[in-house]
Amino acid sequence: MTDTEGDRAEWSFPAVPGAVRTARHAVHDALRDWGLDSAVGDEAVLLVSELVTNSMRYTPGPIGVRLLRPRPDGDHSSARPGLLVEVSDPVPDAPTERTAGPEDESGRGLQLVACAARRWGTRRGKSGKTVWFELALPG
């Protein structure tokens, strides 16, 4: 984990069995250490789990996870009103949201992100893509 000035946490996970569980625990622990609301933490952990699982299906890794803590510091140019979470992998193709049928065992991850997040999206990077979402904080 890399922690910069206490407002960012990032990890890189190999695409191996157990990576999703490790990512969930890392995110949970970081959000707890930051003192964020447990409901927001549970939601973030669920969505990270879905996105890391999705990345593992299509990439040999590594899978990056980054949390950016809100900064309500009065300077509106740098204030971050919600928790920003990013999951990156080396595959450049953006994931596609699809409708899963009642019997389908997959295909709901992006639907969960779209329903739970205040905002979400994807962006291409120099090597791969990032799927990001922002969660609103109580208060």
* Domain segments of the chain as ranges: 2-96+107-135
Res. 5: pLDDT tops 80: no
pLDDT of residue 107: 67
Q: Please check the confidence at residue 54 and state whether its pLDDT lies above 60.
A: yes
Q: What is the pTM of this model?
A: 0.87
Q: Which two tokens stand for residue 20?
A: 């999703």
**Do 95 and 123 meet the contact criterion of CB atoms below 8 Å apart?**
no
The pLDDT value given to residue 109: 81
Domain 2-96+107-135 indexed as CATH 2.30.33.40: no
pLDDT grade, residue 18 (50/70/90)? very high
